[in-house]
Structure 1
Amino acid sequence: MKHFRLVASALTVLFLAACASSGAYKAADGSKYGYTDQRVETGRYRVTYTARSAEVAENGALRRAAEITLRDNYSYFTVVSRDLDRRRTGGGSSVGIGGSTGSRRTGVGVGINVPLGGGGEDVTVRMEISLGKGDKPQGPQSYDARSVLDNLRG
């Protein structure tokens, strides 16, 4: 019983860490969650953000676009193209069987996975942005970088 509690506690910690890791704003750096960006040409970038919800992914991509804009000494950015991709995660039931042998002992285990939440989804927002200086153009695709950061920083 002691071993069962220890394994259950460890699994709970791992589950909570996995959930928390997908929500914090960060660079992807080998993880599937977070942002990546690529300079296409002077004043033009591709920004991608992957998260567990559309709102977090959208806000993360806008925040990264604003950071790039200010870092490169521009004042606004215009979203030239935007794409949102949703992918279902988990959701399937599974059964696993394992066994081991050691000196004088043999063990067999059976595990059953039944997802209780029906799975989730990963959402990726991809934007191509064009940077600009001076007054922000009118229109829903142009953003003042300083305002975006002020509003989206946690």
Structure 2
Amino acid sequence: MNKTISIILLALTLTACSSAPAYRAASGSGYGYAEQQISDNYYRVTFKARGDDKEAAKAYALRRAAELTAQQGYDWFVLVDKETLKERETAANNQLGVTYQRDIEQKCTLFGCRTRTVNRPSYEAGVGVGVSSSREHVEVALEVRMGKGVSPENQQVYPAKTL
């Protein structure tokens, strides 16, 4: 009886985890949206999603940028920079390999701030038992500048969006 209840609870837990909405704030797993303020009206917005759908990840990042623009009291935003990262992680029975940790560095001058992503290698070796597995994810990072009133004519302008 206890074994049957345990199996049912495990199945329900797995179903709840797999049905988590794609658009959400990033949590411990890192999947979802996050933002970092660079200056008063300049933000870096990221969206990390499972799978390899770059267009969906970009759409979610733009959605978050529009919501953030409205939350900050601005009318519109423009894309200053865009970066798309696609990664595949593989876990094998026996492994020897290198992974990369991404760090974001910010450098500010009198003319503004710029951020860049730096990959630092980490070397691993291990022996495991079981079946190998693979997991893929895509991450889109947008740097946006927000504004009020009349929008610039020579740039792609996106409107603010309330929740």
TM-score range relative to shorter protein: 0.5 to 0.7
Kept after mapping to 2: 8 A contact 1:80/1:141: no
Question: Among 133, 146, 158, which residue is 1:131 paired with?
Answer: 146
TM-score (normalised: structure 2): 0.62
What count of residue pairs does the alignment treat as equivalent? 127
Give deviations 1:14-51, integer Å, cap 9, x for gaps.
55444333x42111132210111111111111111101
Question: Among 38, 41, 46, which residue is 2:39 paired with?
Answer: 41
How do residues 53-64 of structure 1 correspond to structure 2 at under 5 angstroms? 53-64=53-64
Question: How far has the Cα of 1:84 moved from its partner?
Answer: 0.4
What is the alpha-carbon distance in structure 2 between the residues aligned to residue 10 and residue 56 of structure 1? 32
TM-score (normalised: structure 1): 0.65
What is the alpha-carbon distance in structure 1 between the residues aligned to residue 154 and residue 17 of structure 2? 38
Give deviations 1:51-71, integer Å, cap 9, x for gaps.
123233212211111111111
Partner of 2:103: none
Give deviations 1:103-147, integer Å, cap 9, x for gaps.
xxxxxxxx74265xxx4421111111100112333456321123x
Give deviations 1:83-116, integer Å, cap 9, x for gaps.
00001134x5549xxxxxxxxxxxxxxx74265x
Are residues 35 and 93 of structure 1, via their aligned partners in 2, closer, same or farther at CA, if it must alter by over 3 Å? same
Higher strand residue share: 2
Partner of 2:84: 84
Higher helix residue share: 1
Which stretches in structure 1 are left out of the alignment for 5+ residues?
Answer: 96-110
Are residues 30 and 141 of structure 1, via their aligned partners in 2, closer, same or farther at CA, if it must alter by over 3 Å? farther
Q: CA RMSD in A?
A: 3.1
**Aligned residue identity for 2:23:** Y
Are residues 7 and 114 of structure 1, via their aligned partners in 2, closer, same or farther at CA, if it must alter by over 3 Å? farther
How do residues 104-123 of structure 1 correspond to structure 2 at under 5 angstroms? 112-113=130-131, 119-123=134-138
Kept after mapping to 2: 8 A contact 1:136/1:143: no
The residue matched to 1:113 in structure 2 has which SS? coil
Partner of 1:26: 24
Which protein shows a greater Rg? Answer: 1
Which stretches in structure 2 are left out of the alignment for 5+ residues?
Answer: 95-128
Question: How far has the Cα of 1:7 moved from its partner?
Answer: 7.4
The residue matched to 1:77 in structure 2 has which SS? strand
